[in-house]
Structure 1
Amino acid sequence: MPIKRFILGAIAAVALLPAVHAQDMPVFYEADGAVMAGYDPVSYFLEETPVRGLPEYSVIWKGAEWHFASAENRDLFESNPRAFSPQFGGYCAYAMAQGILKSTDPMLWDMVEGRLYLTHSPEIEQLWRGDRAEYIHMAEENWPVVLYQD
């Protein structure tokens, strides 16, 4: 019986490895000390162009720092962060469809059905816009599993 318990324990430990590892992985891509390089995620929904946030209107959510242009935007975000945060942790949506993590440029963005998507470069943005629905579907299959790949 001790061997059987050992084997079952080893199997359980291996099954839990991704969960333990997930604690150390950055779920949100941060550049320049904040998600979206400090741009206010709420501004993508309320303004015609993204607005840079300020550190004095920041909040920590999901272990990442988020900046906002105003206290009002910060409060809106805090009331429903999932509604305003970028999809796929702010990593490039097109790259996520390919199963890889890639940085993003906060000025290269797209809104699809009320959700915010960021891309890496103007060239990638053009590819992304070619078949957004398919890339979103593919990226959803890869997210968040891609965080745990070596």
Structure 2
Amino acid sequence: MSCKRGLSRLFLVLVAIGLAAAVSRDPTGATEMKIVDPTFSVHQGHAIGGYDTVAYFTDYAAVHGDEAHAVDLDGVRFLFANAENRTQFLHDPKRYLPQFGGYSTFALSKGKLYGADPTVFDIIDGRLYLSRNERVQELWHRNPKGYISQAEENWSELSGR
């Protein structure tokens, strides 16, 4: 059983690396990366672990999406809680995509590429940022604009862009 678990983890890592390599290469920043936290995306098969990316903005909450309102965008499946959120996303997808591919912005600001928990988030200047966990979010809240700036500097190198 331990060997199977090890192989499963290795598979997830390899898939995550492959997914990260397949993301869009927009030199302007983080809004184009479609793969959102590979551990959630690969494990559950959906971007942001199946959470509705529009609901972060409209409800300021992490709301599970529904397959009935799914959208495939550039090979990534996004779920939405309702048809209205799906329509909003289709009208302007870039507006709703998590920054830095959904990786932890705080970790990225420190030069590390760590996954994030889609239930721990902030919206700053109309952009969605995810945190690894609540403790990391507390640290992030000390200087979010500074951490965003540092993360932007590190993004190109760490994301392979």
TM-score normalized with structure 2 length: 0.73
**Percent sequence identity over matched residues?**
35
Which residue in the other structure is 1:35 paired with? 47
Asked whether 1:113 is paired with 2:125, we answer yes
CA distance, structure 2, for counterparts of residue 99 and residue 55 of structure 1: 35
Q: Deviations over 1:90-135 (max 9, x none)?
A: 1111111122211111110011111110000111111111110100
- Cα deviation for residue 56 of structure 1 reads 2.1
Asked whether 1:140 is paired with 2:134, we answer no
Q: Which runs of 4+ in 1 moved over 2 A?
A: 21-27
Asked whether 1:83 is paired with 2:83, we answer no
Which residue in the other structure is 1:99 paired with? 111
Q: Do the aligned partners of residues 62 and 128 (structure 1) sit closer, same or farther apart at CA in structure 2, a change above 3 Å counting?
A: farther
Q: Do the aligned partners of residues 59 and 120 (structure 1) sit closer, same or farther apart at CA in structure 2, a change above 3 Å counting?
A: same
CA RMSD of aligned residues (A): 2.1
- Cα deviation for residue 23 of structure 1 reads 8.1
Query: Runs of 5+ in structure 2 lacking a partner?
Result: 1-17, 24-32
The amino acid of 1:125's aligned partner reads Q
Query: Runs of 5+ in structure 1 lacking a partner?
Result: 1-20
Q: Do the aligned partners of residues 52 and 24 (structure 1) sit closer, same or farther apart at CA in structure 2, a change above 3 Å counting?
A: same
Q: Do the aligned partners of residues 40 and 139 (structure 1) sit closer, same or farther apart at CA in structure 2, a change above 3 Å counting?
A: same
TM-score normalized with structure 1 length: 0.78
Select between 130-139 and 91-100 the one with higher mean Cα deviation. Answer: 91-100
Select between 42-51 and 130-139 the one with higher mean Cα deviation. Answer: 42-51
Q: Do the aligned partners of residues 99 and 63 (structure 1) sit closer, same or farther apart at CA in structure 2, a change above 3 Å counting?
A: farther
8 Å contact from structure 1 (residues 34, 66) kept in 2: yes
